[in-house]
Chain A
């Protein structure tokens, strides 16, 4: 529905990572535990794809299948169209070396300096010393840590440690960057700066990013696509703007609520319950330029109703805006129906809100008919 807000053309894009009917079972004592249950996902080149879920949802296991740290019990993991399982040993190593990873707890070697930590992947690849020096200095400069080359990890702040982790991940010129809760151990301000850095990396190096998180704020600030995972299943997936604008599943709604509140304040609900007038409440969601259209004004001039906004929120998302206006319309039953029909024809997402205590609504209705 909101495809016009999507910057990228989906046709002909390369699937950088593809999960096909992934299942993962763990044997725990005599019980079989299903960590991932028939997951299929496509991540295109250049995507910043976020997988969100509560802990134990299986997202971490899924992420580790991309670089072979975990293997699926059944199903396929394709990297650039090629099944990891069907690759020769050499192909597999070459593919895996183009996939980097950053970690929640950074996983820096405490015994090595910042320079040595970043150089490590190149040392393993037996790159010569001058090349290593050049590349490491270039990346430390990129992440803003040129002056920390000789420092040891315990002398750095959390944000600086993650920058070292990012420089280390980039040093091998990867095509895919896996982020395992990369900001979960950081404070909100540092999180923002790390997310900005990741976004820059995605744009400047065209690196596809797959990240798992339990923070919706990370998805909102960084990702263009999202998948919501629960109990090993993907329960909802799509463009971030669509999923945020119109979440379908209970868990998705809970996550969205953490960054975009949409509930009528309790005091307002109490007041509405006490009113004797006839009313309907609609939650109107505007996307992009729609937010500026004078919808409420047109309704009050065309129909015999009065309106009052009881909740409003405007959020910036993927360069576009999502506005939520929960509005009460007072008026005759027939007029309210006409309003509802009118709104449904407009380019907004509309949802009628029923106050939780349904009985009082019926009572009000009977009173007004009398």
Chain B
């Protein structure tokens, strides 16, 4: 396996976990806020606002239509502004957040919109404020579905980190590309793919379990 030692793989794994968890955390916060704003301001929503909805909706669509590799390069100036560097694991996190937040926003928006309209009618009949509607009705009812959405987003994020190598982000995916694919080392490809398959399986299983818990089945 040449210079690819278990230590090397462990380091790559570490980088992946770091990139995924930080960008997932911040991306989830941004995504949730965006999703709730979309649901509240949409036509017929509780706080209908055509202008805000139009701006958010269009921006999310534009960001979501960019391939990640293009986004990664396009926002280099912004990355430099935020983390002070254009290279390294931290530098990869900025584009990952910008990539994942709108994706989470769309998934969570769908989850929240699936909440039975009768629940919102109930909330209104109880004179709930918009904040109370979100806090006590929409989020608890959508939570199981939101967890599944976040599971999907996490797995998407792991895929995106493979391209983080372009800006020196490292990680498992980068290992597969740089040491396996580009140097014709089949063994490295096989090992990294196995690791990724196991990680994805674990995340999906955990996500399903939590969602099931939340549904009290």
- A residues with a Cβ closer than 8 A to B are 67, 69, 93, 96-97, 99-101, 103, 105, 107, 109-112, 120-121, 123-124, 152, 154
Q: How far is B127's CA from A121's CA once the two chains are assembled, in angstroms?
A: 9
With A and B bound together, what is the CA distance between A101 and B217 in angstroms?
Answer: 28
A123 / chain B contacts, CB cutoff of 8 Å: 136
B127, A107: Cβ atoms under 8 Å? Answer: no
A-B contact count (CB 8 A): 49
Contact A109 B119 (CB under 8 A): yes
Is the CB–CB distance between A109 and B141 below 8 Å?
Answer: yes
A69 near B140 (CB under 8 angstroms)? Answer: no
Find chain B residues with CB under 8 A from A105 CB: 116, 118
With the chains together, A124 CA to B127 CA distance in Å? 9
Q: Which residues of B contact A100 (CB under 8 A)?
A: 125
A109 x B140 contact (CB < 8 A): yes
- Tier of interface size on chain B: 20 to 34
- Contact call A93/B137, Cβ cutoff below 8 A: no
Residues B50-86 near A (CB distance < 8 A): none
Would B125 and A111 count as touching, CB distance under 8 A?
A: no
Residue B132 is within 8 A (CB to CB) of chain A in the complex: yes
CB distance from B148 to the nearest CB of A (A): 14
**B216 CB-CB contact with A under 8 Å:** yes
The closest CB in chain B to the CB of A93 belongs to B127
B residues at A contact (CB < 8 Å) = 116, 118-119, 121-122, 124-128, 132, 136-137, 140-141, 143-144, 214-217
A69, B124: Cβ atoms closer than 8 Å: yes
Q: How far is the CA of A112 from the CA of B128 in the complex (A)?
A: 17
Question: Which residue of chain A is the closest to B125 with respect to CB atoms?
Answer: A101
Partner of B127, one of A97, A152, A154: A97
Residue of A nearest to B132 (CB): A124
Q: A99-B125, A109-B119 given. 18 additional CB < 8 A pairs?
A: A67-B125, A69-B125, A96-B127, A97-B126, A97-B127, A101-B122, A101-B125, A105-B118, A107-B119, A111-B215, A111-B216, A112-B140, A120-B126, A121-B126, A123-B136, A124-B128, A124-B132, A124-B136
* Cβ–Cβ contact B121 & A69, under 8 A: yes
Give every chain A residue within 8 A of B141 (Cβ-Cβ): 109-111
Q: How far is the CA of A114 from the CA of B79 in the complex (A)?
A: 49
The answer to whether A107 and B121 touch (CB under 8 A), given A97-B127, A120-B126, is yes
Select one of B118, B121, B127, B144 contacting A111, CB under 8 A.
B144
Residues of chain A within 8 A (CB-CB) of B136 are: 120, 123-124
Q: Is the beta-carbon distance between A111 and B116 smaller than 8 angstroms?
A: no
A and B contact pairs by CB, cutoff 8 A, 21 listed: A67-B125, A93-B127, A96-B125, A96-B127, A100-B125, A105-B118, A107-B119, A107-B122, A109-B119, A109-B140, A110-B215, A111-B141, A111-B143, A111-B215, A120-B136, A123-B136, A124-B126, A124-B127, A124-B128, A124-B132, A152-B216
